[in-house]
Each structure stands twice: as C-alpha cells, then as structure tokens.
C-alpha cells in the first residue's frame, strides 16, 4: 500500500515549491509577518526571508522520505525509521503548526453558512475566520493526516501486520474487541466530562452570570457575543452527546426517528473520520491556550473562566481520539486483503 506515501510525497513537493516561492520574494507568506494574528502561532516571528528556505528544505527532505517509503524495502529497521520520521512530521503538521483558529472555523461554519447569505454576518467576519493563514493551517493539517497514514503503513510493514487492517496473525491484547470495548468506554467518559467546565461557563456568560470572571467583561457583552457564547456551549454539549454514540447502540444502528435510515447500520467511517478530525483540533487549540494564557491564570486565578476551561482541551481531544480508535477496533469487519477478522460485525 504505497498510496499514502506517494500522497505525502506529493503534498511535501507542493509545499517545497511554495517555500521556494516565498524565499524568492513571492507574496502570501502565511506565517509571522504574513499572519494577521501572529501572537497566536508558534511561528509569530517568522519572516518569508528565513521561513521560506526552511519550509523548502524541510518539505523537500520530506518528499524524499515519502518516495523512499514507497520503495519495496525489506529491512524492518529502515521501515521503523521511516515510520518514526513520518509520525514526527504528522505531529508537527497536526499539532504544532495549527492553532485554535482552525477549530473556530469548523465551529462557526454553520453560523456563517446561514448568516452570510442572509446578510446577518459581514463579509469581513467570514474573511477573518477563513484568512489565508487559516487556510494554510488547514493545508498543513491535510499534509499531517497524509503523513500519519504513510507512517501507519510503514509501521505495519515493519511489524509484519496487514497493511490494510493492521491485524497480525495472532490478534489479541489491547486491539481485541473485548479489550477495546473496556478501555474505549473509559475514554468516552473522560471525553464527555472534559467540556463541562467550558460549557457551564459559556452558558453562564450567555445568561449574564460572571462565572469565572470577576471583571466587568460579562456585563459589557452585547447580545451577539452572548449568543455566540450560548452557541459554543451548546456545540460542546452536542459534541459530548455524540461521543456517547461511540459506546451506545445508536452509534452502530441508526435510531427509529431517523426517517429513511432507521435500522440501518452506521458506517464506521461516518463516526471515525469526523471524530478523528475534531480530536486533533481540540489538542492543538488547547496547547495554544496553555501557551498563551497559563501565566495569566496563575497571576489572577479568580479570572479562570476565560481560559482555564480550554486547558482541558488537549485531554478532551486525546480521550476522543482513544475512544474513536476503540470504536473502530470494536466494529471493524473482516479484511478482504488478509482474510482476518471475518467474524466481525462492523460495516
């Protein structure tokens, strides 16, 4: 399965060309000097003069790694080295490069989709949410997922597992259905508990209650800001409810009230793909909040409501990722490539 490695190599090649373009003075450098909010990023001081060549060299080297991954290597040591390199690239692109603005773009998408055509949301607001910097971060995250898939394939080859499903000849231990059901349930409960502090404070603010905010900020909030707070709190609560579906029957079979789908099995990837995307967004957003606001919360503990609930986002995202993996392991069907797991009940 060389496809993911070639996709990762292609993504890296395009990124290397962009780096060369910026290094030669091209417009549109999205980090640091080209970022409308540089303080939010780890790369807030980056310049095209320095950042362009760095991106070109790093992405160029990554492209070579991707092409080597696609070769029929026999050495398990080489495969493991390539897998480690791929995972390192995936972590940088998924966790380090993006910040909370990508999460905000996802959360506000329904509001903007409805409000913008009706004239309730200004075009400037849409442009601010989906700035070139944010679109570049989304591009980097796409590359991160490509590298994660390539690294996963290399690790499976090195361990003698099926490159399609990841099963070995003796599937047991933590990857078995029974084990995944146990630790997956724990992960679901952790994931559901993590957003409660955030939801409670935002609903309190929407109602004019200064929970975790001893200043006059809440009192000065306009109707639009309070509506946004209520929307964010409700979104967090809705996400927690959906997470329960990873261990509930309605997460496997569509419930009766879903006309046209009732009684049909829920496709595994319908749950896995969105949850995998969102889990990473919570991790990188939470790390940004910790980096920027932990000193402020320590200096003024009474004002914990503005940022402290977001400190739990990395735990939230991590627990959701673990719960999603357990859901996948528990429901995955038999593999058409290796023939293992034929007794599965997934779809």
The reply to whether 327 and 187 lie within a common domain is yes
The reply to whether 108 and 223 lie within a common domain is no
The reply to whether 148 and 181 lie within a common domain is no
Asked if residue 344 is part of any domain, the answer here is: no
Of the residues 135, 159, 183, which one is the last residue of a structural domain? 159
d(CA 57, CA 218): 48
Which tokens sit at 2?
Answer: 């060389």
The reply to whether 195 and 280 lie within a common domain is yes
d(CA 9, CA 82): 13
The reply to whether 155 and 6 lie within a common domain is yes
* 49-73 confidence digits (pLDDT tens): 999 999 999 999 999 999 999 998 8
Asked if residue 242 is part of any domain, the answer here is: yes
In a 10 Å sphere around its CB, with 0-12 CB exposed, 13-18 middle and 19+ buried, how is residue 61 labelled?
Answer: middle
* 255-299 confidence digits (pLDDT tens): 888 888 888 999 999 999 999 999 999 999 999 999 999 999 999
Asked if residue 166 is part of any domain, the answer here is: no
Classify each residue of 208-217 as buried b or exposed e, where b means 16 or more C-beta atoms within 10 Å of its C-beta: eebebbeeee
Closest CA to 327 of 165, 187, 145, 194: 187
DSSP-based three-state secondary structure for 329:
helix
The reply to whether 41 and 181 lie within a common domain is no
The reply to whether 29 and 147 lie within a common domain is yes
The DSSP H or E segment spanning 4 is helix 3-23
The reply to whether 84 and 199 lie within a common domain is no
Q: pTM for the full model? A: 0.89
Asked if residue 341 is part of any domain, the answer here is: no
Structural domain span for residue 181: 173-331
Of the residues 159, 182, 197, which one is the last residue of a structural domain? 159
* 137-187 confidence digits (pLDDT tens): 999 999 999 999 999 999 988 888 887 778 877 766 788 888 999 999 999
Domain count for the chain: 2
Asked if residue 247 is part of any domain, the answer here is: yes
The reply to whether 179 and 318 lie within a common domain is yes
120 falls in which pLDDT band (50, 70, 90)?
low
């Amino acid at each position: 399965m060389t496809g993911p490695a070639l996709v990762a190599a292609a993504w890296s090649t395009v990124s290397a060309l962009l780096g060369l373009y910026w290094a030669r003075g091209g417009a549109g450098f999205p980090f640091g000097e080209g970022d409308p909010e540089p303080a939010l990023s780890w790369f807030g001081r980056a310049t095209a003069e320095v950042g362009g060549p760095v991106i070109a060299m790093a992405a160029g080297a990554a492209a070579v790694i991707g092409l080597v991954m696609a070769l029929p290597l026999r050495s398990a040591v080489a495969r493991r080295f390539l897998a480690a390199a791929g995972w390192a690239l995936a972590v940088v692109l998924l966790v380090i490069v993006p910040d909370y603005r990508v999460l905000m773009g996802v959360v506000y998408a329904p509001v903007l989709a409805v409000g913008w055509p009706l004239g309730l949301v200004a075009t400037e607001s849409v442009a601010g949410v989906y700035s070139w910097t944010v679109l570049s971060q989304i591009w980097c995250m796409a590359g991160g997922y490509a590298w994660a898939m390539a690294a996963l394939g290399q690790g499976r080859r090195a361990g003698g597992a099926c490159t399609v499903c990841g099963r070995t000849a003796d599937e047991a231990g933590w990857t078995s259905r029974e084990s995944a059901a146990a630790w997956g349930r724990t992960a679901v409960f952790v994931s559901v508990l993590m957003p409660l502090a955030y939801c409670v404070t935002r609903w309190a603010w929407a109602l004019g209650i200064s929970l975790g905010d001893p200043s006059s900020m809440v009192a000065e909030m306009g109707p639009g800001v309070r509506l946004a707070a209520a929307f964010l709190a409700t979104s967090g609560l809705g996400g927690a409810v959906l997470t329960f579906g990873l261990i509930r029957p309605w997460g496997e079979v569509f419930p009766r009230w879903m006309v046209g789908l009732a009684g049909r099995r829920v496709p595994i990837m319908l749950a896995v793909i969105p949850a995998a995307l969102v889990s990473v967004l919570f991790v990188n957003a939470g790390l940004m909040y910790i980096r920027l606001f932990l000193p402020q919360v320590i200096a003024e503990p009474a004002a914990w409501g503005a940022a402290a609930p977001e400190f739990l986002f990395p735990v939230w995202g991590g627990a959701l990722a673990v719960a999603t993996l357990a859901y996948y392991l528990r429901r995955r069907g038999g593999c058409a490539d290796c023939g293992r797991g034929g007794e599965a009940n997934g779809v």
